[in-house]
A and B are shown apart, each in its own frame.
Chain A
Amino acid sequence: MYLYSFTFYIFSLVAVLSALMVISAKNPVHSVLFLILSFVNASGLFILLGAEFLAMILVVVYVGAVAVLFLFVVMMLDINFVKLREGFLQYLPFGALLGIVLIIELGILFLTKSFSENSLTNFVQLPQINDVENTKLIGKVLYTDYFYLFQISGLILLVAMVGSITLTLRDRGNVKRQNISSQNFIDANNAIEKKKVKLGEGI
């Protein structure tokens, strides 16, 4: 039990501290790296909860793919961050207001009696949790009860993909393209052309 709580406090402490560093780090690349650290620790907390599949998906999707692209963009951008920070005090009241509203809302949810009695279970059919792996449980619910929602979320991703392709696809005119199959069929007979060059004339 000590080992369990010890790991819990380590994961949550690092997660909170790195989340703080995301917004306070001076260098944006450092911010992204702290964001990644925060993700990884959150997935550690998921594992402690027993939600191993969610933990791994969090790492694969967010850390392995999304954050890589994020880091990519941040590294390539040339932003003057001193200038960006000048308006900090100006935006502080608004940001603080948003944060306070969010905390109050969460607090109301937390204090409501119905929430603490798991009223969510009245709406959601929870699968029977015995010794079944939670990967299997998620699959059981996701592809049966929530099949339409699952398909719709897939469609949304497809629309986003089509949108980003249409935004970047343009005809650039004089681009030299290679015909791969014709390249593969090149051999000595059709790659080299023999010519008899007469002396002093050239081709």
Chain B
Amino acid sequence: MNSFSYLNDLFIPGGIIIAQILAVLMPVLISVAFLVYAERKVLALIQLRRGPNVVGPFGILQSFADALKLLTKENIVPANSNKIVFLLAPIITMVLSLAGWAVIPFAPNWVIADINVGIMYLFAVSSLGVYGIIMAGWASNSQYPFLGALRSAAQMVSYEVSIGFVIITVLLCVGSLNLSKIVEAQETVWFAIPLLPMFIVFFISALAETNRLPFDLPEDESTLVAGFFTEYSSASFVLFFLGEYASMILMSAMTVILFMGGWLPPFDIFPLNAIPGVIWFVIKIIFILFLFIWVRGTFPRYRYDQLMRLGWKIFLPLSLLWVVLTAGFLITFDMVPNSL
């Protein structure tokens, strides 16, 4: 046990992992900044405004200016709050929204951890996201955040159920939980086409899971001030903000992998398949993110009972029915993939 074996067994593999993590997380964090800019610009176009256009060319550096301003402000912790949990909540939100990126395959073999249960890991990480919000709401020791946290907990747990069933339908067609294999199974046709209703259910549930409009009741500014992050300021607010947008990008990546063929080009013909897979992946993510923003600019907010009704009375039976239909179809036509 000399120092050399430590170097070989601990520091070199550890160092490689850290380098890989940085290589994924830095682009994600930077793309969050541009996503915020894109959202403001697209919303401005929808509402016939100009949007940010002062900082940098076309206002492209606006998000960086905002982040700098926020980080230099004082971080106010309410006197009656539960201090440790209060400060832990934004950190958890941020860490969880970044943790999911560990299993995302950007292109063939471009993945940090190519684990067999990749989709389960993503599902687990996205279901943990609710803790950041509940903890924030409880620790703030104030009514509006608490109401926001309760709404959010009920909402995220409800929509997770239908997300789970949608994932099962896709898995039935793939025969593996590995994300790379899910993408490879879509070489002939993207799952968005045979499973179109599930694609729509998944997209709408993703909106609810990331607390986006029209399901942004946890931070409903017209009734709850700012919902669960009412009491947050400065750096802890920035963490919530970054976490929320990073999980938006993560959910879009998940949608792309499950339904839009990940890194695969739409048709396997010359000019299209010459473009590297990672570029296709990013283009598809940007498309889904545009849908997120488009929905925000178009639809009014759901009322709480309508939200619950949609989740439990429409999506749950629909996705359950579709699981049975898909399974029956695959068995009848002897198309079960990867059978034992």
Chain B residues contacting A162 (CB-CB under 8 Å) are none
B340 touching A56, Cβ below 8 Å: no
Q: Is B182 engaged at the interface, CB distance under 8 Å to the other chain? A: no
* Residue B250 interfacial (CB < 8 Å): no
> Quick one: which of B85, B120, B123, B160 contacts A53, CB cutoff 8 A?
B120
Chain B residues closer than 8 Å to A57, beta-carbon distance: 120
Nearest to B14 among chain A residues (CB) is A3
Partner of A33, one of B85, B124, B130, B176: B85
Task: For the complex formed, measure the closest distance between the CB of B128 and the CB atoms of chain A, giving whole angstroms.
Answer: 6
Does A71 sit at the interface, judged by CB under 8 A?
yes
- Convert A66-102 into 0s and 1s, putting 1 for each residue whose CB lies closer than 8 angstroms to a CB of B: 0011011001000000000000000000000000000
Q: With A60-B127, A136-B340, A140-B340 given, is the CB distance from A68 to B134 under 8 Å?
A: yes
Among the stretches B5-13, B196-204, B217-225, the one at the interface with A is B5-13
| A6 contact set on B, CB distance < 8 A | 10
> Are A52 and B116 within 8 A (Cβ)?
yes
A163 within 8 Å of B by Cβ?
A: no
| Complex contact A64–B128 (CB within 8 A) | yes
Annotate B114-158 by CB proximity to A: 1 below 8 A, 0 otherwise.
011100110110011011001100100000000000100100010
Write out the residue numbers on chain A whose beta carbons fall within 8 Å of the beta carbon of B82. 27, 29
| A68–B130 CA distance with the chains assembled, in angstroms | 8
Question: B177 contacts which chain A residues (CB < 8 A)?
Answer: 53, 133, 135
Query: Which residues of chain B have C-beta atoms less than 8 A from A135's C-beta?
Result: 116-117, 177
Is A15 an interface residue, CB under 8 A from the partner? no
Q: How far is the CB of A137 from chain B (nearest CB, A)?
A: 10
Contacting pair A56 B9 (CB below 8 A): no
Contact assessment for B123 and A60 in the assembled complex, using a CB-CB cutoff below 8 Å: yes
**Could you write out 29 A-B pairs with CB less than 8 Å apart?**
A1-B9, A2-B10, A3-B9, A3-B10, A3-B13, A3-B14, A29-B82, A29-B138, A52-B115, A53-B177, A56-B123, A56-B124, A59-B128, A60-B124, A60-B127, A63-B124, A64-B130, A65-B127, A65-B160, A69-B157, A71-B153, A72-B134, A72-B150, A72-B153, A133-B116, A133-B117, A134-B116, A135-B117, A136-B340
Q: Apart from A2-B10, A134-B116, A180-B309, list 14 A-B contacts with CB within 8 A.
A: A1-B9, A2-B6, A2-B9, A3-B14, A29-B85, A30-B85, A52-B117, A60-B120, A64-B130, A68-B131, A68-B153, A68-B157, A133-B178, A135-B177
Residues of A within 8 A of B (CB): 1-3, 6, 27, 29-30, 33, 36, 52-53, 55-57, 59-60, 63-65, 68-69, 71-72, 75, 133-136, 140, 180
